[in-house]
Amino acid sequence: MENSIIVHEYGHGISNRLTGGPANVSCLGNNEQMGEGWSDWLALVLTAKSTDTGPTSRGIGTYVLGQPVTGQGIRPAPYSTDFALNNYTYANLPAMAVPHGVGFIWATMTWDMYWNLVDRHGFNSDFYGNWNTGGNNLAIRLILDGMKLQPCSPGFVDGRNAILQADVNLTGGANQCAIWSAFAGRGLGFSASQGSSSSTNDGTPAFDVPPSCDFLEATPTTQDICAGQNAVYNFSVGMAFTAGVAMSATGNPAPTTATFSPNPVNVIPGNTTLTIGNTASAAFTTVHF
């Protein structure tokens, strides 16, 4: 039996059951819906191996075609983060057949997202592990939560936004730039528009990310603390930087300390936490870093 096809068909039950709320199982009939894409994606994820890498060529239905697992399969191209193997983006959507070609574009995007998360958080061979035990486990959770959050009859932007919101709900948004990077790379960036989710011909591709993912953003931007408390800031290090970013802070008054963790930031886009400590003896003041 062809494992990827079995998982693919089972995946339709999941996406139809979760999209549009618990009382609706008829939300995936519009032209830009991504049902075939989620099914392909689940097939890829649930047959992944620890030796796989993002550029590895993965096809759907390779066994029934007598191909190796690295073959193209039944889609227009194999799934891979390598643009030499799969260069499809949102700009190709108008030319794709409904629904399988549409789903292929969506699975291409979310497969890139999967690898961004695995590269950041590692791979867990236990697919049933908690969401915080591996990047693949996290990706599964975000995809499933995204299905629950998106509206009935979703389009690509709806699906992207639901995944981003799922990350905010689950992790506080720790993976926003990693998610944006994947979608932007495939044309569903910050400025992209889906138009009507009933049409695959009126979308506008864009390859940009939010400004917060391009540069450096701190959360919160201001903070009031009492002496003795630590001040903690979360920094998003965007794609304008090159991996290996050494972090430092100036302006903190003696005898306070300023420590970043991790430092350097070796995964871009990435995150680091600044902790201002030893504040018990600091005078009442306003400090700018």
Examine residue 95 and state whether it is found in any structural domain, yes or no. Answer: yes
- Residues 145 and 37 placed together within one structural domain of the fold: yes
Owning domain of residue 142 = 3-209
Q: Do 205 and 219 share a structural domain?
A: no
Q: Which of 9, 32, 36, 217 is catalytic?
A: 9
Quote the pLDDT of residue 250: 86
**Rounded to 5 degrees, what angle do the CA atoms 172, 174, 176 make?**
105
pTM of the model: 0.80
Q: Is 9 a catalytic residue?
A: yes
Compute the distance between CA of residue 250 and CA of residue 83 in angstroms, rounded to an integer: 42
Residue type for 251, please?
A: G
Q: What is the pLDDT of residues 158-197, one digit of tens each?
A: 999 999 999 999 999 989 989 999 999 999 999 999 999 9
With respect to residue 282, please indicate whether it lies within any of the assigned structural domains: no
Whether residues 181 and 60 fall in one domain: yes
Whether residues 205 and 260 fall in one domain: no
Residue 98: partners with Cβ closer than 8 Å, 6 or more residues away: 31, 200
Residue 56 CA to residue 64 CA, distance in Å, equals 20
156 and 235 inside one domain: no
Q: Do 173 and 133 lie in a common domain?
A: yes
The answer to whether residues 202 and 128 belong to one domain is yes
Residues 30 and 171 grouped into a single domain: yes
Q: Is residue 51 part of a domain?
A: yes
Q: What is the pLDDT of residues 192-242, one digit of tens each?
A: 999 999 999 999 999 999 988 888 888 888 888 888 889 999 988 887 788
User: Residues 233, 151: one domain?
Assistant: no
Asked if residue 266 and residue 140 are part of one domain, the reply reads no
Query: Is 171 part of any domain?
Result: yes
CATH code at position 191: 1.10.390.10
pLDDT in tens, 249-275: 888 888 899 999 999 999 888 889 999
70 — pLDDT class (breaks 50, 70, 90): very high
